[in-house]
Homo-oligomer: A and B are copies of this chain.
């Protein structure tokens, strides 16, 4: 067997699993809390333990041997440098110029590759998911932040310094909301999970009646995007308005990508997709209104097929793209 381990590192948890190099079989997917406050080396030590467990579970399940595992692909928050496997800045982890690949390679004795988490999620959907086999793909992952990845001609596009695809940090309002990146008017400042919750809170300030008051209780600061989707699905007008606005912002962002990249597929992934067609339908309509007809006609705009597994799957594919493995 030819197996590769994938790891998806997030601020809250990290996940790992094994896959055959042909992408057909997946084994022992599991996750653990990141506990970034314990420091980067402690996170890597627990990551190595989880990988050991993935290997042991996969061996138990398949009868594979340890030598069948070719290496580890990790997806981590950017900006990062793929070449030497360094996470340059990861605010959610508190990391700065951390040599993640080298540390994990030392801890596991295996070859490690590093790529951006949203790149990996996009690559995963291209490899065996909703954008399978498409030539040019834009992936947008909407969660705590908004990440993106670009597949061009069947390969991840990284740009000159591994920054390419930062869709969340493109300006859609030049004098708009302040973004966590320091810029104003980024797509992320309008349509990330926390931004959706914030817009809902602002709307509640001026509107007494809404299911959201009941759902959120006394502490509005704990309101989540998921609660907004839930209330919208239950017919709450204020929540529906917030979801419609979210669709307009994301639709403008997607239209920009249609006119710039003219992709075959746009894959939307992450928590925001839990809103389903309530969000997707007006998002598609807004993108259609804004973008050029031949670009709209060429592109399918679809939710991801791999759910929370896309990052791990894509990290495996990213490893294979750098270190070809017999399929």
Assess the B292–A169 pair: CB atoms within 8 A: yes
Assess the A171–B256 pair: CB atoms within 8 A: yes
How distant is the Cα of A180 from the Cα of B143 in the complex, in angstroms? Answer: 35
Assess the B172–A261 pair: CB atoms within 8 A: no
Q: Which one of B88, B170, B262, B292 contacts A260 once the chains associate, using CB atoms below 8 Å?
A: B170
Within 8 A of B (CB), among A164-185: 164-167, 169-174, 181, 183, 185
- Kindly list chain B residues whose C-beta atoms are within 8 Å of the C-beta of A309: none
How distant is the Cα of A289 from the Cα of B181 in the complex, in angstroms? Answer: 10
Q: Which one of B152, B252, B289, B298 contacts A161 once the chains associate, using CB atoms below 8 Å?
A: B298
Interface check A70, CB cutoff 8 A: no
Assess the B161–A295 pair: CB atoms within 8 A: yes
Q: Report the minimal beta-carbon distance from A182 to chain B, rounded to whole angstroms.
A: 8
Q: Mark A129-160, 1 if CB is under 8 A from B, else 0.
A: 00000011000000000001010100001111
- Kindly list chain B residues whose C-beta atoms are within 8 Å of the C-beta of A298: 159-161, 163
Interface check A248, CB cutoff 8 A: yes
Q: A163-B292, A163-B298 are in contact. List 11 more A-B contacts (CB 8 A).
A: A148-B260, A159-B262, A161-B262, A161-B298, A166-B260, A166-B292, A167-B260, A170-B260, A171-B256, A174-B249, A183-B255
Question: Can you offer 23 A-B residue contacts whose CB atoms are under 8 A?
Answer: A88-B294, A150-B260, A152-B152, A158-B262, A159-B298, A160-B262, A160-B298, A163-B259, A163-B292, A163-B294, A165-B260, A166-B259, A166-B260, A166-B295, A169-B259, A169-B292, A170-B259, A171-B172, A171-B255, A174-B248, A174-B249, A181-B292, A183-B290
